[in-house]
Amino acid sequence: MIKSTLIQKVVELDGETLNRRQIERIAYEGVEVKISNHAMERVRASRKRIEKQLKDGRVIYGVNTGFGKLSDVEIPEDDIAQLQLNLIRADVVGVGEPFSKQIVRAMMVLRANALAKGFSGIKEDTLQLLVDMINREVHPVVPCKGSVGASGDLAPLAHIAIVLLGEGRAEYNGEVLPGGEALKRAGLEPVTLQAKEGLALINGTQAMTANGVIGLNEAERLGLAADMAASLTMEALQGIITAFDNELLAVRPHKELEFVASRIRGWLDGSKRITSQGQIRMQDAYSIRCIPQVHGASWQSLQYVEDRLNVEMNSATDNPIILENGEVISGGHFHGQPIALAMDFMKVGAAEWANISERRIERLINPQLSGLSPFLAKDPGLETGLMVAQYAAAALVSENKVLAHPASVDSIPTSANQEDHVSMGTIGSRQVREIIHNSARVIAIEMICASQAIYLEQVENQLAPATRTYLKKIREICPPLDGDRDISVEMEALAQYLLRDDTLVEELV
């Protein structure tokens, strides 16, 4: 996992070194970007290659031919620029609610970085306009639905590309405007596309990758929050720490299992609420005893996803590719399958944190399992306590199970069967963020229940220093209950805090 990088005022895009922390800062904090000098030299060289190919009379897919099933239709030289304009206009077919401006910014920087590799034939001024739009916060309105994940994220990227032409819609200074007006207010001018440029702007996996990158950052925080919630629950229920023993974990040496156990042991160091095997009972239930195994496996899924995204965010995902030797080759780098499978894996990993958390919630509120006041109410019967908070957790976990079905196992042929296998990776990338946000709500409910149990038992002074410090943060958002009250807003606020707070990220092993 990537730890927080030094604060940068400007992120330099070279097509090779972009990381997910930088993308998040560009997306959420408005950090500016620029193309490195070396990368811009590659961009110019790539443009010269495509122009030479045209001058030599070569027939090149998407440059002087139609697209998809129409690839055998040759386009006259006088119509080449119109072909690129037509392509963008024809692909602006997205539907549904728009992506957040943070996701759109992530898409834009990812596409700029891919173009900076110098294999796409984009003109320098076209790429610079894309960068300027990021820096001046001109955010195209991009509907979230309509991509099958091959040939790339055509519709979402077309909604970005059309704003470069002075068309479409974009948000600027909080106002949604016609694309040309948004550019004008930002002091920018639209470009006129030339050969290959339309295809270069939209043939890529940047919508699914943007969701994946932002989702992975959120999932990392979610995993740490799950580990902290589990630690607090163990203190509330006097959990057995013996199952987290380092020598025990070493006989099944999955490093992520050991990391979870080590992290929780560290957070619980100094606690007077934690017990040893046989001290009160011989074993805890699986939802507590198997925290390293279950949480650790979810962390393993994130490592796989990170490996895939690190490659993808610094890849050329265009078609055709213009090689350095001047050869132009049609391939399949636009196909989203590597990211689609990773998104489906992350969906399962994130959902499992909520699955096991909901079972710990049950152990906290069920008096037959906890020995505590029923549903953690101060006056059970007159008060319902946190009974129905568990209902909410159960509903969220059940919804996650539906969303966790792999999107990548489906494929519907497109373009008259020319594009006869697609990834559906963008669907999976949207679903994974839904699951992450649902799971954060479940983890928040567990934290609230653990906080309430500790409050009712009046054992705050017996907690470990680390968990006692974190408990204060929880209670700043959701104070303990002295009677039934509406906690819906507090639950949601805590969930969103968990997905944006980097306090625990700095402690990653």
**103 Cβ partners below 8 Å, 6+ apart?**
27, 142, 207, 210, 211, 214
Longest dimension (CA), the chain: 86
Domain-wise residue ranges, the chain: 10-204, 211-317+329-507
Predicted pLDDT at 6: 52
Give whichever of 51-55, 70-74, 184-188, 411-415 has the largest mean pLDDT.
184-188
Distances (CA, A) of 221 to 108, 169, 295: 24, 33, 13
Active site residues: 61
- Residue 509, pLDDT > 70, answer no
Burial of 125 (0-12, 13-18, 19+ CB in 10 A): exposed
The dihedral formed by the CA atoms of 366, 371, 372 and 373, expressed in degrees to the nearest 10? 70
Mean pLDDT score, 131-149: 98
What tens digit of pLDDT does each residue of 287-308 get? Answer: 999 999 999 999 999 999 999 9
CB contact set of 337 (below 8 Å; sequence gap of 6+): 149, 150, 408, 423, 425
Question: Is residue 1 pLDDT above 70, yes or no?
Answer: no
3 vs 70, residue with greater confidence: 70
| Residues of the chain above pLDDT 70, percent | 98
CB atoms within 10 A of CB 365: 25
The whole-number pLDDT of residue 5 equals 47
Q: What is the pLDDT of residue 137?
A: 98
The pLDDT tens digits for 49-59 are 999 999 999 99
Q: Is the dihedral of CA 274, 358, 500, 5 positive or negative?
A: positive
pLDDT of residue 35: 99
The pLDDT of residue 503 is above 90: no
pLDDT at 323: 95
* pLDDT (mean) for 186-198: 97
- Per-residue pLDDT of 215-258, as tens digits, reads 999 999 999 999 999 999 999 999 999 999 999 999 999 999 99
Counting Cβ atoms within 10 Å, is residue 488 exposed (0-12), middle (13-18) or buried (19+)?
Answer: exposed
Name beta bridge partners: 172: 175
Confidence bin at 67 (pLDDT 50/70/90)? confident
pLDDT band at 420 (very low <50, low <70, confident <90, very high): confident
| pLDDT at residue 422 is higher than 50 | yes
Q: What is the mean pLDDT of residues 443-452?
A: 99
Is residue 412 over pLDDT 80? yes
Instruction: Tell me, rounded to whole angstroms, the distance of Cα 433 from its chain centroid.
Output: 6
The residues facing 12 across adjacent strands are: 34
pLDDT of residue 9: 87
Fold for domain 10-204? Fumarase C; Chain B, domain 1 (1.10.275)
Looking at the domain 211-317+329-507, which fold is it? Fumarase C; Chain A, domain 2 (1.20.200)
Q: Measure the N-to-C terminal CA separation of the chain; round to a whole number of Å.
A: 9
Taking the model in full, what pTM does it have?
A: 0.95
Instruction: Place 335 in a pLDDT band, splitting at 50, 70 and 90.
Output: very high
3-state SS class at 369: helix
Minimal CA–CA distance to 104: which of 128, 84, 133? 133
Pick the range with the lowest mean pLDDT from 128-132, 269-273, 501-505: 501-505
CB 170 within 8 A of CB 101: no
Predicted confidence (pLDDT) at residue 103 exceeds the cutoff of 90: yes
Task: Judge contact between 259 and 293, C-beta under 8 A.
Answer: no
- Residue pLDDT, tens place only, 256-278: 999 999 999 999 999 999 999 99
The mean per-residue pLDDT over the stretch 62-91 comes to 91
